[in-house]
Structure 1
Amino acid sequence: MASHQEDELKPSTTEGYKVGEKKSVDEYAKLDAEDESLTRWKQSLGIGVGSAGGSLGKPGDKRKVVILQLCLLINGRDDVAIDLDTPEYIEKLSGKPFTIKEGAEYRMRVRFRVQHEVISGLRYLQLVKRKGIKVDKSEEMMGSYGPNTSGNPYYEKTFAEEEAPSGMLFRGSYNALSRFMDDDSNIHLEFNWSFEIKKSWD
């Protein structure tokens, strides 16, 4: 990917915010056990003493975040699910544009798994271009998560509702670049896809 596009998809930053020191799940579990607020935070991530041993993950899979599915939730229509855990399917995405009716209201939902360690500040970034010109950039903060366990095989996050633009000027083809990354600037998945805004769903 070109460095210019790399700059266009940088996440926003908060002045004065510093990323905390990286710790293992066991280190987090044992950290300040007497601190009630910290204990509640750890529980929200599914972290407790001994919680690391039961984390899911395929043997040999070193990925820390596995994006399983991205789903388009459209009011009055069937959901459109995109499986992202298959490299072959990701490669085909840009050549199979999705149709979105102008003015349609929709949400995006992501299903994902965290393995091996705690992920801090996971976020979704999206850059949309039309004929090579940037028309939109969005960022959704997803939060921090501990490794999934057999009792909780995946997480789901639903984003804020959006509305597709309306009018003849907005109809046409668009290309999107999507990225999942965390506070440590680790990119967990990046892929290109395309969509068309049309007057109707057909």
Structure 2
Amino acid sequence: MAEEQELIPTETEGYIVGEKKTIEEYKSLDANDESLNKWKESLGLGQVSTAPTDDPRRVVILAMILEVDGEDKVVADVSTAEKAKQLNDSPMVIKEGVTYRLKVRFKVQHDVISGLKYLHVVKRKGIRVDRLEEMVGSYGPSDSYYEKKFMPEESPSGFLARGRYNVKSKFIDDDKVTHLEWDWAFEIKKEW
């Protein structure tokens, strides 16, 4: 039960999730409102999506990327549940003491996604050492992918910091729909 509580997103007091609308309802909403039309355009609501009909997912997380010095150092394919599960068996390696940032690459299909968040809890030998909650944003369906960079972090360094860390991650939206949840691992090492 305590582990489940760690991946519940925080809620902003007074924030009320709006009524769910279809893409057609969004398109016709206040057609004369210029600022609303710009917002709808930023969601890509004018595009025709060619999302696969045999894939019901609304958010497809394609990859988690470890970016160091502006370069994609490690790209982890999480496009299917099976590929995401493999990351627990083959930990991502992070060099100690480097400044890095996580980046997520994803697609949105079939519907508008509101308030998508990424959460993760990092544990070392069963003890929680970090919790991250990042707002990814709201997006409309598109044939191309989106990328979201998170805030830079510094990997721990020193003899005691080296070793395996276990992570539980989750993508969830304002409607409390979990789009992907998986366990993975990384190792802090002296060198890449």
TM-score class, shorter: over 0.9
Gaps of 5+ in 2: none
1:68 and 1:198 map into 2 onto residues whose CA distance is 26
* Dislocated runs of 4+, deviation >4 Å: none
Matched, 1:144 2:138: yes
Matched, 1:128 2:119: no
When the two structures are superposed, what TM-score results if normalisation uses the length of structure 2?
0.94
Matched, 1:74 2:68: yes
Matched, 1:159 2:157: no
**2:108–2:141: 8 Å Cα contact kept in structure 1?**
yes
**2:65–2:72: 8 Å Cα contact kept in structure 1?**
no
What are the Cα deviations for residues 116-144 of structure 1, in whole angstroms up to 9, with x where unaligned?
11000011111101111111000111110
2:72 and 2:52 map into 1 onto residues whose CA distance is 31
Gaps of 5+ in 1: none
| Matched residue count | 192
Matched, 1:108 2:102: yes
1:145 and 1:164 map into 2 onto residues whose CA distance is 30
Matched, 1:99 2:93: yes
User: What residue in structure 1 maps to residue 44 of structure 2?
Assistant: 46
2:190 and 2:73 map into 1 onto residues whose CA distance is 19
When the two structures are superposed, what TM-score results if normalisation uses the length of structure 1?
0.89
Aligned mate of 1:28, from 16, 26, 39: 26
Matched, 1:178 2:172: no
- Secondary structure of the 1:168 match is coil
Aligned mate of 2:82, from 85, 88, 99: 88
- Which letter does structure 2 place at the counterpart of 1:113? K
**2:74–2:92: 8 Å Cα contact kept in structure 1?**
no
Question: Aligned in 2, Cα 1:182/1:14: closer, same or farther, shift over 3 Å?
Answer: same
**1:75–1:104: 8 Å Cα contact kept in structure 2?**
no
Give RMSD over aligned pairs: 1.5
